Structure 1
């Protein structure tokens, strides 16, 4: 399972990466078809954000900790300090890890949006 990642290098510049979240086939019920499931990852907290309609761009900013964001509706364009831009649609998720440096820009779609923020203790590095 692919996950977009935003991270900062030691010099404070932000960049994109794509990481693979390992999964395995799991049958949750004897009559169910197996499907892909990842390991469990420890989380500190979960927050829901309601972004109002009309919010256009959030200036350069970082995140306070490693956050897995899940866009429930709407879309956003992220721009990293190296000038690369990626669009994230509803149903997609992003691991945001640029906790220092210049950060990233966020350009939101015109309608209201709901975003789920999951603060991951160890990012996606250490499943339990």
Structure 2
């Protein structure tokens, strides 16, 4: 399963990358079709965030700790310091790890949005693609 990632290099510049979250096939019921499931990853806290309608752009910023964001509705365009822009729609998740440096810019769609923030321990190792 692919996951978009925002990270910072030692010089403080932010970039995008995609990581591969390995999955296994899991059948939860004898009559159900199996589906793909990732391994379990430790999390230190979960927050639900409501972004009000009309909040368009959030200035350059970093995150205080690595977070997996899960966008329930609305969309956002993220820009990294190298100038690359990625559009993230509802139903998508992004691993945000730029805890130092210039950070990233967020441009939100005009409607209100709900985002789940899952805080991850520093040093979480995932397979990179």
Q: Unpaired runs of 5+ in structure 1?
A: none
Q: Unpaired runs of 5+ in structure 2?
A: none
Relative to the length of structure 1, the TM-score reads: 0.95
**1:52 equivalenced with 2:58 (yes/no):** no
2:15 alignment counterpart: 15
CA contact (8 A) 1:67 1:123 kept: no
1:37 alignment counterpart: 37
Aligned length: 126
* Structure 1 runs of 4+ with >2 Å offset: none
Q: Please give the per-residue CA displacement for 1:34-64, whole angstroms capped at 9, x wherever unaligned.
A: 1100000000000000000000100000000
Give the superposition deviation at 1:32.
1.1
- Write the distance in 2 (CA, Å) between the matches of 1:119 and 1:53: 24
1:94 alignment counterpart: 94
How much is the aligned-residue C-alpha RMSD, in angstroms?
Answer: 1.1
- Equivalent position SS for 1:43: coil
